[in-house]
Amino acid sequence: MSTTTVPAGRTATAPARRRRRWQLGDLFIPVVAALAFVYLLVPIAYTVAFSFNDAGKSNLVWRGFTLKNWQNPCGAPQVCEAFRNSLSVGVVATIIATVLGTMLALALARFRFRGRPAINLLIFLPMSTPEVVLGAALLAQFLSLRVELGFWTVVAAHVMFCISFVVVTVKARVAGLDPALEEAAADLYASPFQTFWRVTFPLLLPGIGAAALLSFSLSFDDFIITNFNSGSFTTFPKFVYVAATRGIPPQANVIGSFMFVAALVIVLVAQVVGNARGKRRAG
């Protein structure tokens, strides 16, 4: 058995930690991240600021602070009608796309059938095809079938491109499920419907909710495909586009600011609820 001796006058201490030299690369990522963050927030800050502008006929120049725009958000002609139209289209298109996309995602993830690889490929086509091409193609179909352009043509167009995002989102959630949970339910004599409703569906619900929120945001925000297939039907993005030449009315900025705050609140609530559930499960 060997022993280690320490020379006289020295103590056994841990080696001194080398001091790390500061490098330019340590500052690069934080600076780029801060610039990107500012770049993203500048348009939002402009929208919120000009919702308080005491504008006259145009909203291009700051004329003073006022609260009257928030007190009367429907003061500009047709702004609230366009907002209601976008909400109606978004809700209907989201419900249809979420239901159909969820069923398609389950079929693609859980079952094997002829043509499955081709369907997986075709699902990505609306996501990768330029919106101008999709809008023009849908318009040509509606005109050839002599379908009157309006609310339902816009809904059909939005469902078409929203389904792809729902399928991708829900399919990723299905792939992450633990099959042992469903097998345990079957071992406890649960029927296939009971297994789906009590085990599979609750586990899929976060993914379905995320897909629905994504679909609604895409539908509410769409302009190009809507402009092709809406006719005289006006949505909020179309209203903003037409009004942009003379300065977007401050009431439109009010509605835009409200939608941003509402989306932010939804995300924060979902995050808090998810963290609370995770702590309960861990406990």
pLDDT digits (tens, 9 = 90+) for 153-177: 999 999 999 999 999 999 999 988 8
Does the pLDDT of residue 192 top 50, yes or no?
Answer: yes
Supply 261's token pair.
Answer: 């705050």
Other C-beta atoms closer than 10 Å to the C-beta of 126 total 16
Domains located in the chain, CATH noted: 27-73+249-283 (no CATH), 77-232 (1.10.3720.10)
Mention every residue, 6+ apart, whose C-beta is less than 8 A from residue 145.
Answer: none
Q: Identify the pLDDT of residue 4.
A: 53
Does the pLDDT of residue 249 top 90, yes or no?
Answer: no
Query: DSSP string spanning 177-213?
Result: S-HHHHHHHHHTT--HHHHIIIIIHHHHHHHHHHHHH
H-helix or E-strand containing 10?
A: none
Q: Identify the pLDDT of residue 1.
A: 47
**Residue % of the chain over a pLDDT of 90:** 43
* 65: three-class secondary structure by DSSP: strand
Tell me how far CA of residue 226 lies from CA of 102, 107, 157, 202, 260, in angstroms. Answer: 24, 30, 8, 34, 21
Q: Which of the two residues, 19 and 178, has the higher pLDDT score? A: 178
In the chain, where does DSSP find H-type helix?
25-50, 68-71, 79-110, 116-123, 125-128, 131-144, 151-175, 179-187, 192-195, 201-221, 224-229, 236-243, 250-282
Q: Identify the pLDDT of residue 76.
A: 84
Other C-beta atoms closer than 10 Å to the C-beta of 150 total 13
Q: How far apart are CA 4 and CA 236, in angstroms?
A: 80
Q: What are phi and psi of 65, to 5 degrees?
A: -85, 140
Q: If we measure between CA atoms, which residue out of 225, 207, 219, 223 comes closest to residue 259? A: 219
Q: Identify the pLDDT of residue 18.
A: 62
Is this prediction's pTM over 0.85? no
pLDDT in tens, 97-144: 999 999 999 999 888 888 888 888 888 888 888 999 999 999 999 999
Mention every residue, 6+ apart, whose C-beta is less than 8 A from residue 274.
Answer: 206
The pLDDT confidence band at residue 13, using thresholds 50, 70 and 90, is low
Supply 143's token pair.
Answer: 């005109």
Q: Identify the pLDDT of residue 114.
A: 87
